[in-house]
Structure 1
């Protein structure tokens, strides 16, 4: 378990035990980090992750509060966490993507026009906001553009249907794995360069490694 995952687990335990009640404000960052025995940076990442799944509510200039935890909100948050710890469906979906996406990328390397490649380059650079959610949005657009450029509408449609169910996994990786943001950008650049060089074998290999890396992380995160 990563240090950030450890901090997440400890905050969740405080909520379950009643030490932190719905609507209550979290202690000062320094105090809570000391109480949990984690660094302030790890605590910050844990808070960010839990706010994404609506367990915590970060209010700029006011503080961080435990969400209301009304049934609908809580069930959505819990189902999100179950995706990683009790359900292999996301991993199965990635397994299918690992078969199909390298093939689509190889086809795109053979068929992409200069105009399409120029557009793909705009989807490779990290968002100015630096937000994980914005990076994931670019990630989805990047892979969709490659699939569409494969020239096979059925393949593109299949990959599109497999993309959205893994969005939460991508966000979770971004907030819990150190360097995931930079690694994703670097891998996308490598895939883009292979396509621009019209090298289908290299494009296939880099796409395979890219999806395989996400699968390896998810296996560890769900373990």
Structure 2
């Protein structure tokens, strides 16, 4: 069994702070894989169920209030949104999944589009998979983990809304998800607990993401 990876080093945490202190701007939106922007920067994508807090987390990471915007109707956002972070990394906001009211054809279209993106995007370094710390794992979450395994794309699980869970229950949830991650071939064996409201885990996640940013000499961080 794989061991759970350790946290980012102090140097990497500082690199993450500096990276996310830079400019971050929306530069491309794509509803189909044949409309993706040219391959350039390394990419880190964010995936999660509708209402998991994905937009809030991206805004917290970048220190902005409305860089990523949540739709008022879950499942309505259907495009991949690309953000340029300091000319060193692209953050990709993927459409939410698991929306109950969506037609079956819409759900299948989401899966087909996302799988094509995951399999074909050579600059995609990691997927940050968000799970709501308050609720039980859903079938759609399990389906996405299996999809990521099949696509052979490394993903890291991040628990959101930790401020709304009591410490004992949160620790139990973290241990449960860490055990689950170890069972998935494509899962990075370390779970990060976050809260966009209190800032918990934000510095840690910035450090993890900084591993993939292009440095001033054009190489990835160590």
Task: Confirm or deny a common fold (TM above 0.5).
Answer: no
Larger radius of gyration: 1
Give the structure-2-normalised TM-score.
Answer: 0.24
Greater percentage in strand: 2
Give the structure-1-normalised TM-score.
Answer: 0.23
Greater percentage in helix: 1
